[in-house]
Amino acid sequence: MSGFLLIAALLALLVIAPLVYPLLKRNGVGTSAAVTGVIVALGIAGGATLLYPVWSNWKWSVPEPAADSPAAMIGRLARRLEKQPDDLQGWLLLGRSYAVIEQFPLAARAYQRADNLAKGKNADALMGLGDALINGEQSDFSGRAGKLFEQALELDPSSVKALFYSAIAAMERSEFPLARARFSRLLEGSPPPEVRRVIEEQIRGIDAQALLASRSGTPAPAAAAAQPGAAAVQAVTVPLRITLSAAVAARADAGAPLFVLARIPGQRGPPLAAKRLEARFPQDVDLLSSDAMLAGTGFAAGQEIEIEARIANGGSAISRSGDPFGTAVVRAGGKSRTVIEIAAVKP
């Protein structure tokens, strides 16, 4: 910064000198000319000093990073790699460092350099690049990032991170049996309890998706009719009217289906009942207890349930970020239609 200020001062003198010199030269060096020259010089220098901080893009209030700060250390590493561009481990470290401070585009560039050096044979470079692309919103699991995780898993089949990410990528491609198999392999590794719960939840969601797909387009039989000779039981109905708010209408993909799901309020996992419908609005829907996802589930008359109406942009029954949705808590078996407005977007 001090070098820049010195150069700026020299440039200011070069501007001032041609203006002041004629004033001093005129009629010798008179008092009037000298005063005028001094005023001109001070006016130019003072004006530049006052206006430069206002017009420049330099962040004057931001202190220089300390020598041991993350930014300073990353800067030193980046400068070293300029002189040692073939240091694979250095580029991997730079990518991880940029990811820690959430500079994901820079992290992607560093991991890409590492991948180029490794000629696509380093699992850490592939996973780091895929992770940076997703966090930087430059790709998603169904795009290039998903392919990178698949390549990483081929190189390192025992990598927990590659196995998990590639399972998510398989789900995004609607390859649910493959995703379930990979999640099941993760459970075999005895993950921590909190991680196990996440994985088991994904598996339950995949199972629910498979059941829903098998029901798609076919009327669901009454629950009691599943056993021959059983007496027919009247299904409990939840009458609904689904509307779409203009505020989120643009967030719904063309042709995306509408899922209407029933759950116990506050409970996650597979829904009690579900329907897959064409996304047209407004739409009257009768969700039935016989639309149960699993045998022995469903809901009873008078039971309090939470209804979610969601436009599945990815076509999946499993909720994903960006899906427009709306919810309401109702009591099953009511006569009047409950209006659910799809007015929010999944975070």
Residue 195: burial class (beta carbons within 10 Å; 0-12, 13-18, 19+): middle
Instruction: State how far Cα 43 lies from the chain centre.
Output: 53
- CB contact set of 188 (below 8 Å; sequence gap of 6+): none
pLDDT at 133: 87
pLDDT at 199: 82
> In the chain, which residues have pLDDT < 70?
1-68, 194, 209-234, 267-270, 293-298, 317-318
Residue 59: burial class (beta carbons within 10 Å; 0-12, 13-18, 19+): exposed
Q: Is the dihedral of CA 93, 99, 103, 109 positive or negative?
A: positive
The per-residue pLDDT for range 135-184, each reduced to its tens digit, is 777 777 778 888 899 999 999 988 888 888 888 888 777 788 888 899 89
- Is the distance from CB of 125 to CB of 118 less than 8 angstroms? yes
pLDDT at 338: 95
Instruction: State how far Cα 2 lies from the chain centre.
Output: 41
- Tokens 């890409």 locate to 112
Question: Any bridge partners for residue 275, and if so which?
Answer: 260
- Is the distance from CB of 156 to CB of 141 less than 8 angstroms? no
- Is the distance from CB of 263 to CB of 199 less than 8 angstroms? no
Report CA-CA distances (Å) from 14 to 7, 45, 94, 200, 271. 11, 11, 43, 73, 77
Count CB atoms within 10 A of the CB of residue 174: 15
- Copy the structure tokens of residue 271: 């829904």
- Is the distance from CB of 258 to CB of 283 less than 8 angstroms? yes
pLDDT at 232: 40
- Copy the structure tokens of residue 95: 């990518």
**What are the phi and psi torsion angles at 75 (to 5°)?**
-60, -45
- Is the distance from CB of 115 to CB of 140 less than 8 angstroms? no
Q: Which residues of 275-294 are buried (b: 16+ CB within 10 A; e: fewer)?
A: bbeebebebebebbbbbbbe
Picking from 245, 201, 243, 202, the residue whose alpha carbon sits closest to that of residue 345 is 245
- Copy the structure tokens of residue 347: 């975070």
- Is the distance from CB of 127 to CB of 149 less than 8 angstroms? yes
* Domains parsed from the chain with CATH numbers: 2-55 (no CATH), 70-210 (1.25.40.10), 230-345 (2.60.40.1120)
- Is the distance from CB of 118 to CB of 99 less than 8 angstroms? no
Stated as kind and residue range, the H or E segment containing 287 is strand 283-288
What pTM was computed for the model? 0.47
The per-residue pLDDT for range 7-35, each reduced to its tens digit, is 666 666 666 666 656 655 655 555 565 66
Please state, in angstroms and rounded to a whole number, the distance separating the CA atoms of residues 282 and 35.
Answer: 82
